[in-house]
A = this chain, B = another copy of it.
Amino acid sequence: MDPLSGDAPRFEVGRSSGAARSGRLCTRRGTIDTPAFLPVGTHGAVRGLSVADLRAAGVQGILANTYHLHLRPGEEIVARLGGLHRFMGWSGPMLTDSGGFQVHSLSEFARHAESGVEFRSPLDGAKHFLSPESSIEIQQNLGADLIAALDVFEPITGDADEPRRALEALERTLRWAERCREAHTRRDQLLFGVLQGGGRPEQRRWSAGRSVALGFEAFAVGGLGLGESRDLRAELVEASLAELPPPAPRYLMGLGRPDDLVEAVARGIDLFDCVVPTRHGRHGQAFSDDGPFNLHNARFREDDRPLDPESGEPVSGATSRAYLHHLLRSGEVLGQRLLSQHNLAYYMRLMVRMRTAIEGDRFEDWSRGWLKRYRASD
């Protein structure tokens, strides 16, 4: 298929329940039922898990990191090898981020200018330049179905000067958004505009309105999940979404824990990505309806129960908590893998449960009950 004339991804809103909504994000590589969670394949692999594991957990789409793949193996090699889907053996929908957040968080020597960001590779010290145009070019070479505009990120610090800095970041984000739209030529890729605005609801609303005016058909909320309070986040998400046209998909970048997902779906978010299920799994943590628990804990030494008696999925029922405790204590990577797989399956089932509650128009009831039980152990 010619990517320039290829089928553009499209979003169909389904049912609503309060502000929560179900939908379908259709790409030429398959459909993602929303609300949806995409696990993160940082280097072109969801850590420790095979493509078959992802399918078994119910994963419909994944995210890969532009920054990491640009540095190694490089998007040109990936393109010569047939694109990222073929390279990693994942045939379903895929999203790439812009690379901007990783430049911010991982590169010590980033120099920001209106033209773009210069940074050094932590791998070999080589200089790289990430601009709106190069971010789009890299993402076009990687070949994901859903891609993101390069934004400028300003942490929510709460100091007096923050609104000014957040406004500057937001304005540059908007100028870069225009340049990204200019540079973007692959019609088979849906480009998400990224909303910023720091910790002020009015700036969030303004960012959304201006992004809509630029002509984006999909929107990502950026800069959250980095330490702000639950209440502030809810307010900022609501402000961001208030200006968006309902037919456009809404993606909350980089979040989160299961309860973060439930609270954001309640406000109208359709799409998530996060490392939490796999990263926490590697650290021994298992998610459950009763909250997370850590299998390193000595109380699991002789706990013969399966990980999650209610789940019905093979990983959670195959062996005991005592065995997982033993694997973690012994440094056996299989323990990390089984917990990552369990957590991912837990997340995917949680999304299905949310969809079902939305489609039965009982999301508020369902989420109140779920959150109460999940947080009872806090």
Measuring CB to CB, which residues of chain A are less than 8 angstroms from any residue of chain B?
43-45, 47-52, 68, 72-73, 77, 80-82, 87-89, 301-302, 304, 314, 318-320, 322-323, 326-327, 329-330, 332-335, 337-338
Contact = CB atoms under 8 A, between A and B. Distances in A.
A126 to B, nearest CB: 15
B47 A301 contact: no
B334 A73 contact: no
A314 B52 CA distance: 10
Contact of A77 (B49, B68, B301, B338): B301
16 contacts: A43-B326, A45-B327, A45-B334, A45-B335, A47-B332, A47-B333, A50-B337, A72-B329, A81-B302, A81-B322, A82-B304, A87-B320, A87-B323, A88-B319, A89-B318, A333-B337
A302 B44 contact: no
Given A44-B323, A73-B329, 9 more contacts: A44-B327, A45-B334, A48-B332, A48-B333, A72-B326, A81-B323, A87-B323, A89-B319, A333-B333
B48 A337 contact: yes
A240 to B, nearest CB: 34
A49 B53 CA distance: 12
A87 B302 CA distance: 10
Contacts of A337: 48, 50, 333, 337
A-B pairs with lowest CB-CB distance, top 9 = A43-B330, A89-B319, A45-B334, A45-B332, A73-B326, A89-B318, A48-B333, A43-B332, A87-B323
Contact of A304 (B81, B89, B323): B81
B51 A81 contact: no
Given A81-B304, A302-B80, A322 B45 contact: no
Given A50-B337, A326-B72, A338-B50, A87 B45 contact: no
A334 B333 CA distance: 10
Contacts of A334: 45, 47-50
A322 to B, nearest CB: 6
Nearest to A304: B81
A273 to B, nearest CB: 18
Contact of A302 (B77, B302, B332): B77
Contacts of A332: 43, 45, 47-48
Contacts of A329: 72-73
A80 B320 CA distance: 13
A322 B45 CA distance: 13
A182 B49 CA distance: 47
A87 to B, nearest CB: 5
Nearest to A88: B323
A210 to B, nearest CB: 38
Contacts of A333: 47-48, 333, 337
Contacts of A51: 318
Contacts of A81: 302, 304, 320, 322-323
Contacts of A327: 43-45
Given A43-B332, A332-B43, A87 B319 contact: yes
Contact of A322 (B77, B301, B304, B323): B77
A300 B51 CA distance: 21
A88 B327 CA distance: 10
A183 B302 CA distance: 28
A330 B88 contact: no
A305 to B, nearest CB: 11
